Structure 1
Amino acid sequence: MLRAPADLRRVAFFGGSFDPPHLGHLAIARAAREALSLDRVLFAPVGLQPLKPLGSSANFDDRVAMTRLAIAQEPGFEVSLLDAPKPGETGATRANYTIDTLRRLRKMLPAGSELFLLLGADSFRTLHHWHQAAEIPFVARLIVASRPASTEEVESGNENLFCCMPAGLTCEPMPGRPHQYRITDGAGRESSLTVLPDLHYEISATELRGQLQDGGQTGGGDAQGRMLIDPAVLAYIREHGLYQG
């Protein structure tokens, strides 16, 4: 991971189950890469998430392999194993905490580098439940993929998008900088949040797995699933018999 680290100045960490990786994940990462001139987007399949104690449908190695295939043609995208499960570690008490992963990653980056945490809209709305959530923006600046309705909420001054900010943090628009917000805490620390507006990808991984399992037998669900997954990833799914019940 992190080839030629001296050249990495702007890096985004994009964690998730990637079960399976789909075109929505790629759209979010592309939008972030362009909006913030990122040198690298690190896709990090997670071994075990604290808020998903039942784990994923596909095992970690399969999710890593699928993610590698999904991003293979994208410049600046790379798989990270920072959230890989450790040998012999199982159960919710061994779950991966984002704050710990980000701190490890920051130590690996060159001095002066900027670290970002890339989040989908659903993940952002659970942020206040995360371990040491109020510390996360001060380790990595936030990038949030917004659905169209969420963008309207922000621009109209509605606080709905930010109702799940961790306790003790405030988030205010930056004058003259559309979709940019300043995060502060009581100690005077500052960070930032960038909203990636109008991403039209409403993809549920649970529904997608169901479509793949359906195999087209009940109205073409498999065909819809194929449209949302890179062909190389779909071939891997078929070859390894994933999501077949």
Structure 2
Amino acid sequence: MAQSGSPAQRGAYFGGSRVAFFGGSFDPPHLGHLAVAHAARAALSIDLVLFAPVGAQPLKPKGSSAPFEDRVAMTELAIADEPAFGISLLDAPNPAGAPNYTLHTLRRLQTEMPGATIFCLVGADSFLSLRHWYGAAEVPFSASLVVASRPGQKLGDLAASIPVGLTVEPSQPPIPSADREIELVSYTVRNAQGRTAALYVLPGLDVEISATEIRAQIKAGRPADPARPLISPAVARYIREHGLYQ
């Protein structure tokens, strides 16, 4: 895979790219993560999806079950056969042990990738807590948010999650999906000064995989269901060899 030129990014990048930043615990990275990244890439003609295991999440004080280095290694294995997917280390643990704030990370990414159009891919659960994020009112203007919902989740009332001082309304005209098989709903976020930003929703993705479920299954010693794979064989092998989630 081609290098971006930055030690914090591993993935093909060129000026003018459409880049999606996909932060998360990836504890472990599962096939649902890959499905979401594929859907976002297809719907929005994204050139590069950067998977970014996070060192410390402000809204998850208990931390992750596996060390950061193991989560990076597993994520690299999960995306090894995906030339349009790369790794970002921008959310690596910092020496002071402080939380990783999405706003700061996105601003650093903009600096490291001048000329790129930046998207931020988030799950619906994370988006529903957007009001509680650090610098929440600035986040939508640092990158276009792309919200991936799980089956059955209701994201119709976006206003309930939008930070105070911002409004959201359907885009006029709607921005169509670049892939007819993937539904995309577009919105416009506006602040009190009239500044606008795009927000996208990938509704009802048929992905029902939980990292919590995977960890519990491994801890209980339950065999994986071959008819319903949750993680890639390479990630499963890494977990076994390193005794994770026991």
Distance 1:63 1:8, change over 3 A: farther
TM-score by length of 1: 0.88
Structure 1 pair 227–100 and aligned structure 2 pair: CA distance change class (3 A):
same
1:98 aligns with 2:79: no
The residue aligned with 1:31 is 39
Post-superposition shift, 1:108?
1.1
Give the Cα separation in 2 of the matches to 1:13 and 1:190: 20
Structure 2 letter corresponding to 1:104: R
In the TM superposition, residue 53 of structure 1 has moved relative to its aligned partner by 1.4
Kindly indicate whether residue 165 of structure 2 is the aligned counterpart of residue 168 of structure 1: yes
Identity of aligned residues (%): 59
* 2:57 counterpart of 1:49: yes
Following the alignment from structure 1 to structure 2, what is the Cα–Cα distance between the partners of residues 204 and 60?
A: 19
Whichever residue aligns with residue 109 of structure 1, its letter is: M
Question: Which deviations, in whole Å up to 9, do the C-alpha atoms of 1:164-216 show, x marking residues without a partner?
Answer: 11111111011342601011010111001111122122222222200111112
Within-5 A mapping of 1:125-204: 125-150=128-153, 154=156, 159=157, 161-177=158-174, 179-204=185-210
* Number of positions where the alignment pairs a residue of Structure 1 with one of Structure 2: 229
Cα distance in 1 for residues equivalent to 2:143 and 2:123: 15
Q: CA deviation at 1:139?
A: 0.7
Asked if structure 1 preserves the Cα contact closer than 8 Å seen for 2:188 and 2:196, the reply is: yes
- What is the match of residue 242 of structure 2? 240
Asked whether the equivalents of residues 212 and 225 of structure 1 are also in contact (C-alpha less than 8 Å), the reply is no
Q: 1:97 to 1:227 in 2, by over 3 A?
A: same
Encode CA deviations 1:59-98: one digit per residue, 9 max, x unaligned.
00000000000011112100100000124x33xxx11101
Counterpart of 1:223 in 2: which secondary structure?
A: coil
Gaps of 5+ in 1: none
Shift of the alpha carbon at 1:6?
A: 3.0
Deviations 1:139-161 (A, max 9, x none): 1011000234346x53xxxx2x4
Higher helix share: 1
Contact 1:127 1:133 in 2 (8 A): yes
Aligned counterpart in structure 2 of residue 14 of structure 1, from 14, 18, 22: 22
CA contact (8 A) 1:12 1:40 kept: yes
State the match for 1:214 in structure 2: 220
CA distance in 1, matches of 2:243, 2:226: 18
Instruction: Report SS of the residue matched to 2:199.
Output: strand
Contact 2:13-2:48 within 8 A present in 1 as well: no
TM-score, scaled relative to structure 2: 0.87
Aligned partner of residue 64 in structure 2, secondary structure: coil
